[in-house]
Amino acid sequence: MVLANGDLTRGLSDLVDRMTLDEKILMLAAKNIWETHSVDRLGIPSLKVTDGPNGARGGDFFDGTTAACFPACVSLAATFNRGLSRQVGKALGQEAITKGAYVLLGPTVCCHRSPLGGRNFEAFSEDPFLSGALASEYVKGLQGERVAATVKHFLANEQDTRRFSVNQTISERALREIYLKPFEMVAKDADPWAFMSSYPKINGMHVDAQAKFLVDVLRKEWGYEGLVMSDWGAASTVESVRYGLDLEMPGPARQRTPEAVHKALKEGRISAADIDSRVLSTLKLLKQTGKFDDRKDTPKEQAIDRPEHRALIRKAGSEGIVLLKNDNNILPIDLGRTKKIALLGPLATYSAAHGGGSASLKCHYKVSPYDAFAERLGDQVEITHSKGAHIFRVYPDIDSGCTNSRGNPGFLAEYFMASSPQGTPFHVNEFPRGSFTTLMDTAVTGAQTVRFTTTYQPPVPGTHYLSFSGLGPSKLYINDVLIADQQSAIPDAMGFFLGVQEEIRVQYPFESQPYTIAIETHPSPTSNSELYLMDDQCSIHLGFIPQSEMEHDVLAEAVALAKEADLAILFVGNTTQWETEGQDLSSMTLPADGTQDHLIASVAAVNPNTIVVNTTGVPVELPWLDDVSAFLQAWYAGQETGNAILDVLLGEACPSGKLPISWPKKYAHTGCYGNFGLDSYESREVEYVEGVFVGYRWFDGQWGGEKEVGFPFGFGLSYTGFEVRGAEIAGAISNDAEGKVRVSAWVRNVGARAGAETVQVYLEPPVGEGAAVERPAKGLVGFAKVELQPGEEKSVEVVFGRDGAAYWDEEAGRWAVSKGSYGVLVATSSGPADVKERLVVEVESGFVFEA
């Protein structure tokens, strides 16, 4: 049941009045990492939240209760399917409930500014309209389960490099037309119950340190009445109580301690009314999610693996896959003519279910491409495999052969308050592998030394490869002999937490006998991540690769298998070590050191039937594209990724995905080149130099030149063919929020297979006399996806209003629509070759309007 605002606030204001000032102050920040405070005296319960946008992880970051992993939002965006986005949102709500959480920290709707964005996979698209449209459906599905969506990260969290301290210079026009737009669409169309503020400074100030964004824009202009929480550690000042930030996350409070709030009250920097407003927002969220009613208790986390979720994940994953090349119709695979398939590449046996960071979780299960092929085709064709390239950034955790002192698999961590591991530890934990962290573990707060131990029995003797690192100063001993000594803290604490740190690498001669492994580590003395949550934490990583695996010539093996195969299918891309929250990518090339590109080129040279499946959340350079027969972009498709990919390769699912991003040939061709990510590492400054010319809005000015895009936004092939014809237009653009333009067209399946086509409508602004400011050549104003049987024909309709024609007039501080002739393009991508018909709509007189 969705309650109207009046119903929500009825009685809650009285409840606020009954609270003491100290109880109110307590409610301004969370109790711990995931839960708000309760006030038992008044029957106010706590509320649990959970990451994240593609799966409800629950309370443990690494080894918690298993959960369903859905496709990443960029994969969902590639479906261009509103209904599917709503279904995924609904299922995520059901998943959150199994973790006792009634707030999900998603979706992420920041626009993709650069192909190097480390967290792009977690967001939908470079296009604000597509992002806002699909995010709105996601939110509606989620909140239909009475689980709050948390739309994030408001605002301008497009890069992860220095995100805690970077200052971003962004024009008001770019903010309004690109970066605020998807948030505005979701706020107005889906009424999300929560927003999350971001870390970066915008034009010199944090979002929560000014009234502009959380009060003036979000609440006053857009009429938003929900809760705003901070990103974890992003609350920058106690004055954020005045500037519209309702809840500081996580707890306990850092900016909003009782002392700080009382002092700010006394000095008049915040008011009692400000505090009441913030507390009321939290109480409203409790009411919306049922915490005052049938959900008073926080149940124990459960792992419920629903068959209907499995099916939805598989369908959404396959529908998001984009077929970008298919020479001679090599796909779908003809099993009648295929006797031997070589599955090659470092991701053939890796299930690229999700990216790294907040979107990661412990899946119920994960299906790799090799798993899917072996299960479904193992008795029909001969399947061979070689990884072909090593792409380790950090060696995998050591686990096999490890037994702790309690006789259980894994390691034992002993925590001491002293500067050395003497006496009895105050706490002991067991870990299944060679890594641990104290972050988010309140039981070990304040530990000054941790001893991490195991007995290791090598499966086979050899001079095996070890990698070692600690968040703070750390030492590694084998049989009481010092093997590695990291004398200072790791340079990037957040990078360490996310598993992408630099490490000490050694080889050690193991024989067929047990070895004692002991690690001693201490907290990092200062926060090298610029985030206070990482202060005084202890973490360790011990990685291991057998000598035989590391020194085996996997490239030669892969080429030999490719020569003998009817089809060579290469699975390449990024793992969570390479594409993750916390770090942006250093280049558009596949990792590592050219090994994957070399593998593809070598295989294509010996087998003309080479198919490449890329699993990344971003575009990559394709130096081998002309030499392969087929190329598919699979994104991060969730726990069913292997099955989703095979469904498309076999033709059991006809590809219908469309690129939600532009695919540059090189990073240097992008509008933000030199002004993104690592370019700002030392300066902590970045300028959005491209303004409103983001993605295809930039590449539309490059057609026919050196910087022409590789694949345009909205592009994607099919196993069947479509004809789009008979486009018609009705209505007008007017200074009336209810006034609409309706564009209709007929779509016919002219091929031999059932499939789906997405008709995209773009609006061209007037040129010449009607061009008040420089504007992009066009912008997406609507889309419609239609499924058709062979020979079937259906009509589709796209509706848009004045918002689609408007630009932000910086001088007037309002939206403006110019007079003149607007081109209405009916297309199947943003590329000029895919424009099917061009219509015109006239605006007789220009006008301005409020948001």
Residues 6+ apart with CB under 8 A from 48: 34, 35, 59, 99, 100, 101, 102, 103, 298
Is 14 an annotated catalytic residue?
A: no
Query: 27-31, 493-497, 566-570: lowest mean pLDDT where?
Result: 493-497
Tell whether 562 is covered by a domain.
yes
Tell whether 785 is covered by a domain.
yes
Order of all β-strands in the sheet with 435-437: 435-437, 539-545, 462-470, 504-510
Tell whether 209 is covered by a domain.
no
3-state secondary structure of 799: strand
Per-residue pLDDT tens digits for 685-716: 999 999 999 999 999 999 999 999 999 999 99
Q: What is the DSSP string of 580-617?
A: BTTB--S-SSPTTTTHHHHHHHHHHHH-SSEEEEEE-S
Cα dist from 327 to 721, 724, 831, whole Å? 15, 23, 20
Tell whether 414 is covered by a domain.
yes
Angstrom distance (rounded) from CA 357 to CA 439: 14
Which of 664, 699, 734 corresponds to the end of one domain? 699
- Is residue 695 located within the same domain as residue 558? yes
pLDDT at 442: 80
- Is residue 427 located within the same domain as residue 484? yes
- Peptide bond preceding 851: is omega within 30 degrees of 0, i.e. cis? no
Q: Indicate if the pLDDT at residue 10 is higher than 80.
A: no
Which ranges constitute the DSSP H helices of 592-684?
Answer: 595-606, 641-650
Tell whether 193 is covered by a domain.
no
Per-residue pLDDT tens digits for 569-613: 999 999 999 999 999 999 999 999 999 999 999 999 999 999 999
pLDDT at 502: 87
pLDDT at 1: 40
Q: What is the DSSP string of 472-493?
A: SSEEEEETTEEEEEE-S--S-H
Residues 6+ apart with CB under 8 A from 270: 238, 239, 241, 242, 261, 264
**Chain centre distance of CA 285:** 25
- Is residue 529 located within the same domain as residue 559? no
Q: Indicate if the pLDDT at residue 8 is higher than 90.
A: no
Per-residue pLDDT tens digits for 518-562: 999 999 876 667 888 888 999 999 999 999 999 999 999 999 999
Angstrom distance (rounded) from CA 555 to CA 774: 51
Mean pLDDT confidence for 96-120: 98
- Is residue 690 located within the same domain as residue 743? no
Tell whether 152 is covered by a domain.
no
- Is residue 344 located within the same domain as residue 415? no
- Is residue 347 located within the same domain as residue 265? no
- Is residue 266 located within the same domain as residue 331? no
Tell whether 124 is covered by a domain.
no
Q: Phi and psi at residue 251, in whole multiples of 5°?
A: -105, 170
What CATH number did the domain enclosing 678 receive?
Answer: 3.40.50.1700
Q: Is 477 in contact with 483 (CB distance < 8 Å)? A: yes
pLDDT at 3: 47
What CATH number did the domain enclosing 408 receive?
Answer: 2.60.120.260
Which of 487, 510, 537 corresponds to the end of one domain? 537
Q: Give how many domains the chain has, as a whole number.
A: 4
pLDDT at 767: 84
Tell whether 279 is covered by a domain.
yes
What would you report as the CA-atom Rg of the chain, rounded to the nearest whole angstrom?
Answer: 27
Tokens, residue 130: 């597509």
- Is residue 623 located within the same domain as residue 577? yes
Question: What is the value of pTM for the model shown?
Answer: 0.97
Per-residue pLDDT tens digits for 460-502: 999 999 999 999 999 999 999 999 999 999 988 888 888 888 8
Angstrom distance (rounded) from CA 757 to CA 760: 10
Angstrom distance (rounded) from CA 324 to CA 658: 9
3-state secondary structure of 128: helix
Question: Helix (H) and strand (E) counts for the chain?
Answer: 19, 36
Set 127, 191, 208, 231: catalytic member: 231
pLDDT at 98: 98
Domain range spanning residue 793? 722-849
Which ranges constitute the DSSP H helices of 436-568?
Answer: 493-497, 547-551, 554-564
Per-residue pLDDT tens digits for 797-836: 999 999 999 999 999 999 999 999 999 999 999 999 999 9
Angstrom distance (rounded) from CA 135 to CA 124: 8
Q: Is 564 in contact with 521 (CB distance < 8 Å)? A: no
pLDDT at 673: 98
- Is residue 727 located within the same domain as residue 758? yes
Per-residue pLDDT tens digits for 391-432: 999 999 999 999 999 999 999 999 999 999 999 999 999 999
- Is residue 414 located within the same domain as residue 378? no
What CATH number did the domain enclosing 808 receive?
Answer: 2.60.40.10
Which of 229, 259, 288 corresponds to the end of one domain? 288
Q: Is 266 in contact with 249 (CB distance < 8 Å)? A: no
pLDDT at 6: 58
- Is residue 789 located within the same domain as residue 830? yes
> What letter does residue 578 receive in the DSSP assignment?
T
3-state secondary structure of 212: helix
Residues 6+ apart with CB under 8 A from 261: 25, 28, 238, 241, 270, 275
Angstrom distance (rounded) from CA 505 to CA 523: 21
- Is residue 409 located within the same domain as residue 466? yes
pLDDT band at 441 (very low <50, low <70, confident <90, very high): confident
Q: Is 198 in contact with 155 (CB distance < 8 Å)? A: yes
Cα dist from 736 to 772, 801, 827, whole Å? 21, 8, 27
- Percentage of the residues of the chain whose pLDDT score is greater than 70: 98
pLDDT at 439: 87
Q: Indicate if the pLDDT at residue 5 is higher than 60.
A: no
pLDDT at 851: 83
- Residue of 194, 230, 280 lying closest to 531 (CA atoms): 230
